[in-house]
Amino acid sequence: MVKEVHFFTEMAYSAYSQEAAKEAGYTNLMFPNENFDPNRAGELYNIYFEEFAHASEAGFDGMMINEHHYNPLCMMPAVNLIGSVLARTTNKGKIVFLGNVLPIHENPVRVAEEVSMVDIMSGGRVVCGFVRGIGQESMATNSNPVYNRERFDEAHDVIVKTWTTPGPFRWEGKHFQYRIINPWMMPIQKPHPAIWIPGVASPESIIWAARHRYPYVALAPSIELLRGIYDLYAETAAEEGYTPTPDNRGYAIRVACADTDEEAYELGRNWYWQLGTSFGIAPRHWQAPPGYLTRAAQQGARQQERNATRQVNVTPGGPVLEYDQAQATYQIVTGNPDTVTKKLKYLMDIIDPANLILWGREGRMSHDDAMKNIDLLGKEVIPAIKDYQPQYQC
């Protein structure tokens, strides 16, 4: 049963020239930043922060934020900085980091300190997510993709120990070494803020989350992959000696809600603003450079699906199908409040998540349309979803 619903937007820089992107053939990493206008970005930041603040008052239980680099998809290259703004511009609602890209950071203790600061400034409202990042993140920060998972694991361990072990203490690892760890900034929440692991369908990430008993948040994969994700989680949990509950399951989905199904259908097209996909076009090796994917991940269901469709969008989980096909596979949900509620209930029956993230604004969607979407979701859809008892079977 859904307990909390959070609002998400990538905070896209949607003002660049589509003609320039079409001529270049890609929309990220190597797309010249001369196409960026800081004044227009400032206007967009103001719009997005107003929408986040509105969501926090309109029925949502929190706000999800994330991090990407060298990509107009996302104006959050420093997720903790965005979180600090939300800590001061909102008075309630969780601030859900999904999340800090651990392998690209040279100092995970700094990440621990920054998240602690936001937790303090927000009055203990932080949910801390950790991610490996896509291959493009490694390329943007000159981080060797071969060590991506190793660095993720060790950075996670450093951060958790920093939050839970009184300092000073020493750390001597493979990728990180500290003579002294003794930060003064420690989170309000004890032993530390909740940790969630977002992903699409990487089997290793699902297994890792289950072994650590962290909730796994599926980031809008196609409906065909959904059940398999949480079946694998449950199998791993059983090996660890516990039975997962809805609290272990989260789901993020793109949703466009309007007064009529027809209006919402057109609104949903905003997820196709970057040359046909909300994630931008890129050569495949930017997304998964050599060494980034293990053999198990390469053979996983999501990667096989990506290979079969010759997918070249930059972020995993993005729509690669025609618009109507994306709707049919529930990668995008549109409709009036009743229609959206009915579709979401169908998804709840499949996975029964305690935490639902509604990706409710994207691309060149107008501010008025985004605010209307937030209102309809917050006032009509969310109450109905929280009252629903899913027909979920393990």
pLDDT tens profile 108-159: 999 999 999 999 999 999 999 999 998 889 999 999 999 999 999 999 999 9
pLDDT above 80 (res 279): no
Half-sphere exposure of 75 (CA within 13 A, CB side): 22
Calculate ∠ Cα 196-253-160, nearest 5°.
10
Q: Is 293 left (phi over 0), alpha (psi -120 to 50) or beta?
A: beta
Report which secondary-structure segment, H or E, holds 316: none
Report which secondary-structure segment, H or E, holds 186: none
pLDDT at 315 (0 to 100): 47
pLDDT above 70 (res 301): no
Query: Where in 182-223 does DSSP place strands (E)?
Result: 194-199, 216-219
> Rg for the chain (alpha carbons), in Å?
20
The CATH number assigned to the domain with range 4-387 reads 3.20.20.30
pLDDT tens profile 208-256: 999 999 999 999 888 888 889 999 999 999 999 999 999 999 999 999 9
Q: Give the number of other CB atoms < 10 A from CB of residue 101.
A: 26
Instruction: Output the pTM of the full model.
Output: 0.93
pLDDT tens profile 336-362: 999 999 999 999 999 999 999 999 999
Most confident of 62-66, 136-140, 286-290: 62-66
The total number of residues shown for the chain amounts to 394
Q: Are 298 and 292 in contact (CB under 8 A)?
A: no
The residue assigned the tokens 């969310």 is: 382
